[in-house]
Amino acid sequence: MPVRARGNSWQVDVRKRGIRFRHTYKTEDQANVMLAKVEEAISLGKALPDPEDCNDGRAMTIAALLRKAGEKYWSDTKHGYLTLRGIEKMIEEYIGENRALSDLNLDFMDELISHFKKQGNASGTINRKLSIVSKAATYAKDRGLIDYKPKIEWQKEGKGRIRFVTPEEEAIMYRVLTQMGYFQERDTFMFLIDTGMRVGELKNLRFDDLQGNNLTIWETKADHPRTVVLTKRALDIFLNNKGKMGMPYQKLIDHWNHMKCVMNLKDDEQFIPHCLRHTCASRLVQRGVPILVVQQWLGHKTIHMTMRYAHLCPTNLEEAVKVLEPTVTQAVA
C-alpha cells in the first residue's frame, strides 16, 4: 500500500513510471493528502511536490473531514447511523480517500451535484446529501482548516404529494402482517398510525412515560418533549408491550418491505414507514382537529411544516362558500 503506518507516523511510498517518492508524516491525513498530490503530479508529468507541503497542520482529506464532522454531529443522534452510512457511501462512490481538503470549493460542489443527478437522485435527496457536506464545511471553516466555505447551490424542491395510508390499506396491512406472523411489526405500525410518532422516537419510550392515556415523548427530533393522547388500540399495544416499543431498525425495514411486496406496492417509493406519521396527521386534519393542535401533536417547530396537511380539510372551504351563495332576492334578480 502506498500509505502505511510506521510506528507513530505514516509513510508515503510511491513507485510509478520509474519515479520514486518516499516521505514520512505525522498523521494519516497528511500522508493521504501528499499521496494525492504525488499521484496527480506523476499522471500529468509534472515535478513532484515538496515533501514538506503537508506538514502545516491544516492538511486533511475531504473524506477525513466528513468522518470527523460525522463523529461530532451525528454519531450519537437518533438517526445518525443513516447519515454516517451516507457519508461512507459518498466517499466510496465518488469522493475517494485521497482528495485534498483544498479541493473543497465551488467546482467540487458542482461536480458533486452533477454526480448525484447522474445517479438519478431527486432534488430533495440531493439537498439532504449537500446538507451533510455543508455542515462539514462549516466545521472546517470554524476550525481554520479552510479559509472560506464554498457556496452551495441548493436544488429547487417541489412540494410533492403526501402519501398516507387509507383505511382500506390499513386493514390489508393488519391482515398481511398477521398472516406472516409479524405480530410485533403489526402492533408497531398500528401504534405509529394512531400516535403520529417518528420511528426513531419509539426506542426511547419508557413505561412510566404513560400517565392515564397520556404518553409523553421526552426525546424528540425537535428536542422539545410533547404529549399525545393514546387511542384505545394504541394504549392496549403500549400496555401489552410494557412500554418497550422499539425494535431494530433494519428488521423493521426488512419486514416492511416484505409486507409492501405482498400488498403489490413494491414500486410505490413513498410507501415507507414515515407515511404512517403522515397518516396520523392527515386523519387529525380531515376530522376537524385545529391545525395548531395538530402542530402540537406532531411536535413541529413551526406551523409551516403542519400547513402541508391543511388542504386535506375541505370542511372549511365548504362552510366558506356558503357566504358567497347569493340570497333569494339576488338569485331572482
- Condensed to tens digits (0 to 9), the pLDDT of residues 110-123 reads 999 999 988 888 78
What's the CA dihedral at 255, 260, 262, 263 to 10 degrees?
Answer: 140
One domain, residues 171 and 303: yes
> pLDDT under 70 in the chain at which residues?
52-59, 77-79, 158-160, 314-320, 327-333
One domain, residues 18 and 81: no
Question: What nine digits make up the cell of 297?
Answer: 401533536
One domain, residues 15 and 123: no
Give percent above pLDDT 90 in the chain: 44
One domain, residues 68 and 46: no
| CA 157 to centroid of chain Cα atoms | 16
**Domain total in the chain:** 3
**Residue range of the domain that includes 213:** 167-317
Residue with cell 519515479: 19
Is this prediction's pTM over 0.85? no
One domain, residues 135 and 31: no
Pairing label, strands 19-25, 9-16: antiparallel
One domain, residues 16 and 83: no
One domain, residues 176 and 305: yes
What whole-number distance in Å separates Cα of residue 284 and Cα of residue 66? 40
Give percent above pLDDT 70 in the chain: 90
Is 218 part of a structural domain of the chain? yes
Question: What nine digits make up the cell of 147?
Answer: 479559509
Confidence (pLDDT) at 169: 96
Confidence (pLDDT) at 57: 45
**Which ranges of 105-202 does DSSP label H, i.e. alpha helix?**
106-118, 123-142, 167-180, 183-195
One domain, residues 137 and 21: no
CB atoms within 10 A of CB 251: 12
Q: Residue 204 in contact with residue 219, Cβ under 8 Å?
A: yes
What whole-number distance in Å separates Cα of residue 121 and Cα of residue 33? 30
One domain, residues 79 and 193: no
